[in-house]
């Protein structure tokens, strides 16, 4: 029996398979790293069929399907593929700086133009990946507070890039830089007794409060944040698109400024339920235009 002929799929080396397809009137060939076994050739054939189906429906994204391809940037459906990080951040800052307090503006401007742009400015927005950001942070011996300040600023800027639909995916979404905790620390914390409020108690407390206090209590109950984390929350920590917040700091009674969270695991992402979002929207009229703090 002869070897089975496969349309648009062929072995090109001992470790790769080539897929051929027509997109926008032009034929493209892309390699995938798979040994050309019969099973893998079949997989590649199914992959090609999925590509053709996406092209037919108008949902094919070249850069997403073949992120390492030389053709990806030219054919990317993301406008951010043609905008450098420096161009975007410089333009974003002209609007952002008008909304900040003088002290915050000075610090953020120094971080942006002395550190972030010199490091990532030559990349396009679609080339800015979490792995690059993570490696940049890990290459410096920053305190947790300093690290959080830099990441929070970059995250705010990229939130805007997503809102403007310059990029489809936020490279920092669901990403935090954690340090490993010892088993002894985990065991000690697991012994803490938890005695939560009942539903009736929560409702009574929320209904008895008014104004900003009501918003604080409702948001606190529906997110589980510590009081110090609630007081440190900035509007820039809120991802309205994906309905979540980034907990990156805490403000205690004795502290003069926002510090690192109580524990290293305290830096995290919290997804927002409708009552929490409602509390944030109600709080907007009080502090949204006054500065960073919620």
Whether 281 is covered by a domain: the verdict is yes
Domain count, the chain: 3
For the whole model, what pTM was predicted? 0.42
Q: Count CB neighbours of 230 within 10 A.
A: 17
Q: What CATH number has the domain bearing residue 152?
A: 1.10.150.130
Q: What CATH number has the domain bearing residue 233?
A: 1.10.443.10
- The reported pLDDT for the residue numbered 289 is 79
Whether 110 is covered by a domain: the verdict is yes
Whether 93 is covered by a domain: the verdict is yes
Whether 174 is covered by a domain: the verdict is no
What is the residue whose two structure tokens read 């002929």?
Answer: 5
Q: Are residues 120 and 142 in the same domain?
A: yes
Whether 266 is covered by a domain: the verdict is yes
Per-residue pLDDT tens for 22-81?
988 889 999 999 999 999 999 999 999 999 998 888 888 787 788 788 787 666 667 787
Q: Are residues 58 and 85 in the same domain?
A: no
The burial of 41, by beta-carbon neighbours within 10 Å (0-12 exposed, 13-18 middle, 19 or more buried), is given as middle
Q: Which two tokens stand for residue 245?
A: 């917040």
Q: What are phi and psi of 69, to 5 degrees?
A: -75, 145
- List the domain range (segments joined by +) for residue 223: 183-189+196-287
Question: Packing angle between helix 144-163 and helix 85-96, nearest 10 degrees?
Answer: 90
What is the residue whose two structure tokens read 């830099």?
Answer: 150
Rounded (5°) CA angle 235-241-243 = 70
Residues of the chain with pLDDT under 50: 1-2, 180-186, 253-256, 262
Whether 169 is covered by a domain: the verdict is no
The answer to whether the Cα torsion of 251, 252, 254, 260 is positive or negative is: negative
Q: Are residues 24 and 102 in the same domain?
A: no
């Amino acid at each position: 029996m002869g070897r089975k002929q496969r349309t648009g799929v062929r072995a090109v080396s001992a470790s790769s398979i080539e897929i051929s397809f027509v997109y926008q009137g032009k034929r493209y060939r892309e390699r995938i790293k798979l040994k050309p076994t019969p099973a893998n050739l079949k997989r590649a054939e199914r992959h090609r069929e999925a590509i053709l189906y996406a092209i037919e429906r108008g949902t094919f994204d070249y850069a997403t399907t073949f992120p390492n391809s030389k053709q990806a940037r030219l054919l990317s459906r993301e406008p951010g593929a043609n905008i450098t990080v420096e161009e975007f951040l410089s333009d974003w800052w002209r609007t952002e700086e008008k909304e900040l307090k003088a002290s915050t503006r000075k610090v953020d401007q120094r971080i942006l133009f002395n550190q972030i742009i010199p490091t990532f400015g030559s990349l396009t927005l679609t080339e800015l990946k979490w792995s690059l950001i993570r490696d940049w942070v890990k290459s410096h011996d920053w305190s947790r507070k300093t690290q959080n300040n830099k990441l929070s600023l970059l995250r705010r800027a990229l939130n805007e890039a997503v809102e403007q639909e310059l990029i489809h995916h936020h490279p920092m979404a669901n990403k935090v830089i954690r340090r490993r905790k010892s088993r002894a620390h985990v065991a000690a914390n697991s012994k803490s007794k938890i005695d939560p409020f009942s539903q009736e108690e929560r409702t009574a407390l929320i209904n008895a409060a008014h104004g900003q206090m009501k918003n604080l209590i409702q948001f606190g109950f529906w997110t589980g944040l510590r009081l110090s984390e609630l007081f440190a929350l900035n509007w820039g920590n809120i991802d309205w698109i994906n309905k979540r917040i980034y907990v990156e700091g805490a403000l205690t009674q004795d502290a003069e400024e926002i510090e690192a969270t109580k524990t290293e695991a305290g830096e995290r992402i919290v997804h927002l339920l409708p009552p929490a979002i409602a509390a944030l929207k109600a709080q907007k009229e009080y502090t949204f235009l006054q500065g960073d703090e919620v």
